[in-house]
Structures are given as structure tokens and as C-alpha cells.
Amino acid sequence: MTSGLVCVVGSVNLDTLVRLDRLPEVGETLLGQPLGSLPGGKGFNQAVAAARSSAPTRFCAQLGDDGAGQDLRREMLRAGLDVDLHLSEGVPTGSAYIAMLADSANSIIVSRGANAELTPDAAAAAVEGASVVLTQLEIDPRTAEAALAAGRRTGARTILNAAPAEGVTPSLLAVTDLLVVNETEAEALGGIDALLGAGPDALVVTLGSHGARWLTPGGDDLAVRAFEVDAVDTTGAGDAFCGALAAALAGGADALSALLRASAAGAVTTTAVGAQTELLTPAAIDRLLVGAA
């Protein structure tokens, strides 16, 4: 496909953020500073990042028939997404609880809610006409697999962000062109060598402050350094990376260019609180790339 369209099939959550100096011990109660509620979910975050990286973007997701779902739908439209939304009656919209620590690191607890009810048939139907199909694992892995398989059938490039690193099966990897994981996820899935032999054409490993790598079974190993920014919140960095990576590849970028733009997008996102900062623009990405040249 050469439409340039990115189709993201994935989760949408209402994120509740609290700042803490440290995480509580078992049985301990701590008082935190409330930072409010913001749109989130790996799927939604990645779709917004793709759109803010100038790719036409469709987002397929499942919402609860509740106030949070209505609010999040409005946020999707405000972000310029082409939405393919499905409603669950009697099931709440997904939610996440994010503890933001003093060193800008974070810990996250996710309650899937309606995300778990997005069906394989809905996912497969959504990818029609896409150049790139991107999904993650806050939805049912069978639904993620259906999205990627449908993308393969129509000639799209398929990207799986295996986060969380649960439910990854050989059949899921068999329909994945590009697998994206962080270091923790790579280790949980058996390590880099095992993943390179598991079926995907390429593997991208994000390394936080150490940058990112693009590897292939044939021995290619591209590495980019992290961009230096004043980070205040790392919550959405990985999602911004994935969305911008998909956008760059849908626009025809080669592996190195796509990796650089994705890394820059992740860096920009860390400079504001929340996973969907409006600071993320093509111009902001370009400024980082020029400054690092």
C-alpha cells in the first residue's frame, strides 16, 4: 500500500497521574500530588503521535458507554484522527493509574475495561487501505493478530509493539514485519537473538536514555543515540516513538531516517507532562534532528 495511511488498532484509557517521591512498600500508604486526568492508552497515544507526525491516521478502539468514553472520543476528533470506535455496554472505558517519580521515571497500572472487548473482526475490518498497521497488547492478543494478518493480506507493513510483553505467540510474530520492544520486554520475550529468529523482518529495541537499535536477522544493526532534552515525564515516550516510527515508514522513510525521527519524537514528548503533548510536531522533530547533526 502507498496511501501513507497509518491504522492504529489498540487501547484507549483515561490516565490518572499522581506525583510521588518513591513507590510505597507493601502495606504502606503514601500521600501524592494529584496531577489530574489525561487521555492515554498505548493505542491512543501512538495514534496521536502518528497524526502529529503528519501521517493520516485511523484509530480503531473500544470504549465504554460512559462519560470517560465520550470525553475521550472528543479528544480523538480534536487530534484529527479518523476514528473507528466500538462501544461496550456495562463495561467501563479503560483506565490507567500512573505514579510519576521524582527522577521522571514512572510506574503504571492498567485496567483494560472495554479495551478487552475489541474483537478480531472489528480490528481486521479497520485496516483496509492502510500503508502501515500498528498495534500493541493492551488489547486481546488475538485481536492484535487479526489486525496484523489483515494488514498483511492487503499489502500493509505490520508493526507490533509488544507492550505489555504478554500473549506473544508464534502466530502473532508470524504476521509481524517489525517488532518494537524496550529492553525489559526484549528480555521477557527471550532476548534479542531469540526475537530475531522468531519471524519478524526487523526488530527495534528502544534503550531509553541510550537511544534505540534497528536489527535484522541478516545482521543489520543500526543504532541512534538519545536526544538530550530536559525531561519532565517519560510516560508517553515509547508510544510517541512507535507512532512517529509508523508515520515515517508510511511516508517512505528508510530504516535509519525512521529510527531518528521516532527517537526525536520520543524525546520531545518527555518535555511535557502527559503522553499526548501538543509540543510534538514535525517542526519540533526537525529541530532536534538539525541540532544533533
204 pairs with which residues across the strands? 180, 214
Tens-digit pLDDT profile for residues 64-77:
999 999 999 999 99
Closest CA to 73 of 15, 134, 12: 12
**pLDDT tens digits along 92-145:** 999 999 898 877 778 888 899 999 999 999 999 999 999 999 999 999 999 999
Section 221-243 average pLDDT? 93
Q: Where are the alpha helices (DSSP H) in the chain?
A: 42-52, 67-78, 120-126, 141-153, 170-174, 183-188, 192-196, 237-250, 255-269, 282-292
Q: Is 140 a catalytic residue?
A: no
- Phi, psi at 105, each rounded to 5°: -75, 170
Q: Is the per-residue pLDDT at 291 higher than 80?
A: no
Per-residue confidence (pLDDT) for residue 293, from 0 to 100: 61
pTM: 0.93
| Active-site position among 82, 239, 254, 286 | 239
pLDDT for the residue numbered 34: 92
Cα separation, 277 vs 279, whole angstroms: 5
Domains of the chain plus CATH, in order, are 6-12+41-93+115-292 (3.40.1190.20)
Question: Can you give the pLDDT at residue 118?
Answer: 98
